[in-house]
């Protein structure tokens, strides 16, 4: 298969050079495009040193949906692609087979439109961040179809563009990425499932990716998530609400943190409260 790879960037930092070095040694070689929002650090120089094409956009025009679609259309004008891979600038690849394992399912099952891989916590991740990765990215692979919404609810349409691959035919069949500020991956996943495509979670395809968010950062992020769910209400109506899964997650997380370090529960409670109120505010103002 002909594969392309797109990374949106903004001041990607020192780790970015390591990621580009890892991409150069992958067993699966791809046509790489970086779409940059006017970085002011060494991001552009780093990309140029690796001979990677950079597409620059105005920082104020960045949008998680339309920017990815713009980059994809740019790449498709130059290369005939069967699969497009998306990474974020803050991931690190687990091994030289990470990309190959991610896209392998497309040649094995023609019904799969989207594949996303397992995310492991970065070195230095908090216990809370580690639990979130373990909860969302278990060690077992999983194939999901539209009928699985009766079992998994909203989680059926879960995916992450930090490490995901799309069959170009399937992505185009649902009109590509929409004009949304975030959660463009869930939007497309839901559209694909409703159109008869399947989603594959490739647990053996792995990257390192995690965040140690503060309560303020969680609040701002969940305001945007709440707005997304308010504006795209058809997702909740079709697959179910996020609140039920959220309560289950919080209960499991606090129990796990209490076993490791009870003091971690204090900060976690503040961050969970920030998520809840941010999400509700977003839903109300969306």
CB neighbours (10 Å) of residue 72? Answer: 23
d(CA 14, CA 147) in angstroms, rounded, equals 44
For residues 196 and 238, membership in a common domain is answered with no
For residues 238 and 200, membership in a common domain is answered with no
For residues 226 and 104, membership in a common domain is answered with no
Can you give the CATH number for the domain in which 202 is found? 3.90.550.10
For residues 188 and 232, membership in a common domain is answered with no
Among 162, 179, 208, residue at a domain's last position: 208
The per-residue pLDDT for 252 is 85
For residues 77 and 198, membership in a common domain is answered with yes
For residues 104 and 168, membership in a common domain is answered with yes
Number of domains in the chain: 2
For residues 145 and 255, membership in a common domain is answered with no
Among 151, 179, 208, residue at a domain's last position: 208
For residues 155 and 56, membership in a common domain is answered with yes
Q: What is the full per-residue pLDDT of the chain (286 aa) written as tens digits? A: 999 999 999 999 999 999 999 999 999 999 999 999 999 998 999 999 999 999 999 999 999 999 999 999 999 999 999 999 999 999 999 999 999 999 999 999 999 999 999 999 999 999 999 999 999 999 999 999 999 999 999 999 999 999 999 999 999 999 999 999 899 999 999 999 999 999 999 999 999 999 999 999 999 999 999 999 999 999 999 998 766 667 778 888 888 888 888 888 999 899 999 999 999 999 999 7
The per-residue pLDDT for 259 is 86
d(CA 232, CA 22) in angstroms, rounded, equals 37
For residues 233 and 133, membership in a common domain is answered with no
The per-residue pLDDT for 38 is 96
Find the domain containing 253 and state its range: 215-285
pTM equals 0.94
For residues 65 and 145, membership in a common domain is answered with yes
């Amino acid at each position: 298969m002909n594969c392309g790879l797109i990374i949106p960037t903004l001041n990607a930092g020192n780790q970015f050079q390591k990621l580009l070095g890892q991409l150069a040694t992958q067993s699966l070689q791809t046509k790489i495009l970086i779409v940059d929002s006017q970085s002011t650090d060494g991001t552009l120089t780093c990309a140029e040193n690796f001979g990677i094409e950079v597409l620059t956009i105005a920082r104020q025009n960045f949008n998680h949906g339309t920017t990815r679609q713009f980059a994809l259309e740019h790449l498709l004008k130059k290369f005939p692609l069967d699969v497009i891979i998306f990474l974020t600038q803050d991931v690190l690849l687990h091994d030289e087979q990470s990309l190959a394992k991610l896209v392998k399912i497309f040649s094995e099952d023609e019904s799969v439109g989207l594949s996303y891989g397992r995310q492991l916590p970065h070195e230095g991740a908090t216990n809370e961040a580690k639990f979130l990765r373990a909860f969302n990215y278990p060690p077992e692979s999983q194939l999901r179809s539209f009928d699985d919404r009766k079992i998994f609810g909203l989680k059926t349409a879960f995916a992450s563009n930090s490490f995901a691959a799309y069959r170009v035919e399937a992505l185009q069949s649902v009109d590509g990425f929409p004009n949304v500020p975030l959660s463009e991956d869930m939007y497309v996943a839901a559209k694909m499932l409703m159109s008869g495509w399947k989603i594959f979670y490739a647990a053996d395809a792995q990257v390192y990716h995690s965040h140690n968010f503060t309560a303020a950062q969680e609040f701002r992020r969940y305001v945007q998530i709440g707005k997304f769910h308010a504006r795209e209400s058809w997702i909740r109506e079709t697959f179910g609400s996020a609140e039920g899964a959220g309560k289950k997650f919080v209960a499991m997380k606090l129990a796990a943190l209490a076993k490791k370090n009870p003091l971690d529960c204090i900060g976690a409670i503040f961050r969970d409260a920030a998520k809840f109120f941010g999400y509700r505010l977003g839903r109300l103002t969306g």
